[in-house]
Amino acid sequence: MARLNEVEEALCSLGPVTVTVFVVGAGHRPLPPEAFHLAGLVPDEVFPFEPAEQPPRIAPRGLLSYDLSFTDTSLDLRTYTREALRRVCADGPAVAWAAFEGTFHYDRLLTADVASSVYGYCVSGAEPVVTFEAATLRGESWKALIAQARSALDALLDDEQENEEEEVEVEVEEEDEEELWLARHGLRPDARGLGEVRALLAERTRRERDSQGEGNTLLMRLCCVQLCHAGDLGDIELIWNAKSASFDASHSIDVQLLCGAGLQATKEFLASQTSPQSSAALERILHSEATGDFDGFSPARRFAYDAACYL
C-alpha cells in the first residue's frame, strides 16, 4: 500500500478516512446518501449535519456539512472530493469547500488563517479546485485562491440580503397597487371597470397559482370585493378560482364574497352548474352556512362591512 501523505493522514484522524464538505446556499434539506455515490465510489457512511442557530446573514441560504467516510484508505479521494464539491453546488447558487475536522467557525469561513486547512472548494457554475499537497496548502497562491472563494461566498450572501430588501420593497409596492386600484375603480366599478377587474383577477390568479405570493392576494381580494358587489352570478367561478389559487388566497378571500347576488340565488345557480369548480364552491358555501359563517348575511350588510374596511 502506498504511504499516505500529510493531507491523507489528516483525513484519517477520526479512524476511517473522512472527507468533510461544507456548503452555503443549498438550503436546509440535506441530500440523500445516494447523491454521494460519485466517481465510482460509495461512502461507507454519509453523515449530514445542519449547525443550529446559524447567523442571520447565512441562515436564509442555509449551511450544511457532510462527513463522507470510507474504510478503504487506498481510494482516490482527490477525484472523489472534487465530484462531491461539484454535486453539492449543482442545484443552485452555492459555495462549497472541503476542510479538515475542527477548523469550522462562523467567523473563519474561508478566511486567510484557515486557508491551509481547506483542501478544496467550488463555486456554482465553475470547476471545483482540489489539492492534496501539503506544500500547496501552505503557499501564498493557495491562500489567494481561498480568498477568491471567500469573495464568492460574500457575493452569494450579499445577493441574498439584496433579495430580502427587494421583497420588502415589493410588499410596499403591492400595498400601493391595491390603493391605486381602489382609487381608480372604487368598490362599485362601472361596466368598463368591471371588465378590467375580471381581466386583472384572472391574471393575478394565474400568477398566484404558479407561485404563492406572486399574485398579490391583497389586490386579488379587492377585485373579489368589487365583483361581489356587482352581484353578477357569472363571476362566482372567477372568484372561486382566485380563492383556490393558494393557501394565502384561501384565507384572504372569504367565502361570503362568492354570494354578492344573495346566498340563496348563489346556491341555486351553483347547483345548476356542472363544472367541478361550481360543485366545490357550493360545497364550501354549504359547509360555511352550517358553521354559522352566513348568520345575518345579506349583500347590503356585506357592502357596509367592506365600505368600512376600504373607504
Q: Do 91 and 210 belong to one domain?
A: no
Q: Do 26 and 109 belong to one domain?
A: yes
| pLDDT at 177 > cutoff 60 | yes
pLDDT band at 13 (very low <50, low <70, confident <90, very high): low
pLDDT per position as a tens digit, 255-291: 999 999 999 999 999 999 988 899 999 999 999 999 8
Which three cell numbers, joined as nine digits, stand for 194? 368591471
Count of residues in the chain = 311
H or E stretch covering 142: helix 140-185
Residue type for position 145: L
- pLDDT for the residue numbered 175: 58
What whole-number distance in Å separates Cα of residue 81 and Cα of residue 70? 12
- pLDDT for the residue numbered 232: 93
Q: Do 306 and 244 belong to one domain?
A: yes
| pLDDT at 161 > cutoff 70 | no
pTM over 0.75: no
Q: Do 37 and 154 belong to one domain?
A: yes
Query: Cβ contacts of residue 63 below 8 Å, gap of 6+?
Result: 22, 23, 24, 50, 51, 54
H or E stretch covering 238: helix 236-243
Q: Do 51 and 147 belong to one domain?
A: yes
Distances 233 to 217, 219, 229, 268 between C-alpha atoms, Å = 22, 21, 11, 10
pLDDT band at 226 (very low <50, low <70, confident <90, very high): very high
In a domain, 19, yes or no: yes
The Cβ-side half-sphere exposure at 266, using a 13 Å CA radius, reads 29
In a domain, 180, yes or no: no
- pLDDT for the residue numbered 17: 87
Domain count of the fold of the chain: 2
| pLDDT at 197 > cutoff 60 | yes
Q: Do 211 and 283 belong to one domain?
A: yes
pLDDT per position as a tens digit, 284-303: 999 999 989 899 999 999 99
- pLDDT for the residue numbered 166: 47
The mean of the pLDDT values for the chain is 88
- pLDDT for the residue numbered 235: 93
Is residue 297 within 8 A of residue 259, CB to CB? The reply is: yes
Q: Do 217 and 73 belong to one domain?
A: no
Is residue 28 within 8 A of residue 76, CB to CB? The reply is: no
| Collapsed DSSP state (helix, strand, coil) of residue 90 | coil
Q: Do 153 and 192 belong to one domain?
A: no
253 compared with 9, residue with greater pLDDT: 253
pLDDT band at 104 (very low <50, low <70, confident <90, very high): confident
Other CB atoms within a 10 A radius of the CB of residue 88 amount to 28
In a domain, 171, yes or no: no
In a domain, 167, yes or no: no
pLDDT band at 75 (very low <50, low <70, confident <90, very high): confident
Q: Do 190 and 142 belong to one domain?
A: no
| pLDDT at 173 > cutoff 70 | no
Q: Do 12 and 89 belong to one domain?
A: yes
In a domain, 178, yes or no: no
In a domain, 260, yes or no: yes
Which structural domain range is residue 239 located in?
186-310
Q: Do 14 and 145 belong to one domain?
A: yes
In a domain, 89, yes or no: yes
Mean pLDDT across 157-184 = 65
Q: Do 221 and 100 belong to one domain?
A: no
In a domain, 256, yes or no: yes
Mean pLDDT across 228-247 = 94
